[in-house]
Structure 1
Amino acid sequence: MQTEPLPRRRGTRRPRRRQTGILWLATLNLLVGPVAADPIIDQIEAARRAYQAGDNAVAIQALNFAVAAIEAQQTEAQLALFPDPLPGWSADTAQAEMAGLAAMLTGKVLRRTYRYGATGAEVQITISANSPFLGVMSSLMQMPMLLQADPSTSLYSFGGHRGILKQEADSSELSLMVGSNLLLQLKGSGGADKDILEAYLQAIDIPALEAALTK
């Protein structure tokens, strides 16, 4: 007695295209790995959990870590706004001199030094932001009679911003107020004169700098 072959059950085999897609996703996960977590968000969440659990000390520590990390990100972006060296010049790594609680008293100070090896000329650019002492500089620029005692000092303006220019035999200094909370200072020595300072000043993206440091 012959038995009839059993009919093939439909739907027992997965379509080849779907299998290929699943294998591709699995391979991609192995290559990429898990998405890196944001350490700042992690610390904020840790602070929330600690606060809800009544552990205020841990919550404060986690929040302080998050604040410090955010400030570090801000500073890194701000330091990137220093101009590149002029042709033939070199530059040191830009530095931030104040951060954290100290910045509340003195403001944030960023600095970078540029050098021209052929002549020994040097230019130092200093950016001061949100310092309570900037009001003194702003007042000085609004009272020209205070500058008359020093013949090497004169009023200066650039791009609608007011400033002070000081020129001596082998050095020059240019100070420029941007709004009321940002001061640019360019100091030239070793033969770096007004023209060189202005070349560096023109290379600074002042609107971007103001937005990054005062807003």
Structure 2
Amino acid sequence: MLKFIHIPALAISLCFAGSLHADAISDEIAAARKAYEAGELRTAIETLNFAVSKIQEQMAANLVKLLPEPLTGWTADKPESQAGGMAAMITGTTLSRRYERADGAEVTLSLMADSPLIPMLTMAMAMPFVMQNNPETQMYSFKGYRGMLEHAADSQEYELSLMVGNRLVIQGKGRRLTDSQPIEDYFKQLDLEAIQTALTQ
């Protein structure tokens, strides 16, 4: 898990362990240690926070590899990640990638750890009658994982939300689609176990 509060502690432990590599992040951690030992606590915090953001950037660069390449007949934008900073503290860790087909169809995949969607989906799973009362939503299952399908009648937009464990949501949003199959085709390309491990450690 990419929690803001845990990485500074990790940075401090690495610093005192003396196993740092000579790179920019190590330099920042070393500077934070000096500031801490000198009693300059605010400076130590600010310096560690900078190191944290850089560590999170490196982690995000590895995490985006979890998003699949475009299927035959599709193209894709570069993967995007939000794994640090204030926004991530509110929305959780988010990785996304948009795919497009020649006929204009679009699918956007999002992998969200510690997302605000989780309580809503948990409640929906616990009270399925709530979805049953809404004609635009229905229960959804994929490889044993439960979720929700949203689709308005006469609309070409589909949204699949899938809970993987209790901290990860996989979401697929489709536009200009005749059904939700293209989203599911991309779901099939995901290594759900690897994603859960990488995003919720």
Q: What TM-score do you get using the length of structure 1 for normalisation?
A: 0.76
Larger radius of gyration: 1
2:57–2:83 contact (8 Å) kept in structure 1: no
Shift of 1:38: 2.4
In the alignment, which residue of structure 2 is the partner of 1:166?
150
Correspondence list, 1:52-91, <5 A: 52-91=37-76
In the alignment, which residue of structure 2 is the partner of 1:148?
132
Residue 148 of structure 2 is aligned to residue 188 of structure 1: no
Shift of 1:155: 1.2
Q: SS where residue 122 of structure 2 aligns?
A: helix
Give the whole-Å Cα distance in 2 for the aligned partners of 1:159 and 1:38.
43
Give the whole-Å Cα distance in 2 for the aligned partners of 1:102 and 1:172.
26
**Runs of 5+ consecutive residues of structure 1 not aligned to the other structure:** 1-35
RMSD: 1.9
Q: SS where residue 83 of structure 1 aligns?
A: coil
Aligned length: 179
Q: Tell me whether 124-133 or 181-190 shows the greater mean CA deviation.
A: 124-133
Residue 108 of structure 2 is aligned to residue 124 of structure 1: yes
Give the whole-Å Cα distance in 2 for the aligned partners of 1:59 and 1:145.
52
Offset from partner CA, 1:147-198 (integer Å, 9 cap, x none): 1123343211112210112344423221100111111111111126322111
Q: RCO higher in 1 or 2 (8 Å CA, sep ≥ 6)?
A: 2
Give the whole-Å Cα distance in 2 for the aligned partners of 1:206 and 1:110.
14
2:138–2:148 contact (8 Å) kept in structure 1: yes
**Runs of 5+ consecutive residues of structure 2 not aligned to the other structure:** 1-20
One-letter identity of the residue aligned with 1:100: G
Give the whole-Å Cα distance in 2 for the aligned partners of 1:54 and 1:152.
58
One-letter identity of the residue aligned with 1:209: I
1:44–1:66 contact (8 Å) kept in structure 2: yes
Q: SS where residue 56 of structure 2 aligns?
A: helix
Correspondence list, 1:82-121, <5 A: 82-97=67-82, 99-117=84-102, 119-121=103-105
Runs of 4+ in 1 over 6 A off after TM superposition: none
Offset from partner CA, 1:75-130 (integer Å, 9 cap, x none): 1111121111001101111112462233222212222110002x111001122211
Q: SS where residue 188 of structure 2 aligns?
A: helix
Q: SS where residue 63 of structure 1 aligns?
A: helix
Give the whole-Å Cα distance in 2 for the aligned partners of 1:56 and 1:142.
46
1:127–1:185 contact (8 Å) kept in structure 2: yes
Give the whole-Å Cα distance in 2 for the aligned partners of 1:44 and 1:98.
20
Q: What TM-score do you get using the length of structure 2 for normalisation?
A: 0.80
Alignment partner of 1:205 out of 183, 188, 191: 191
Give the whole-Å Cα distance in 2 for the aligned partners of 1:192 and 1:44.
53
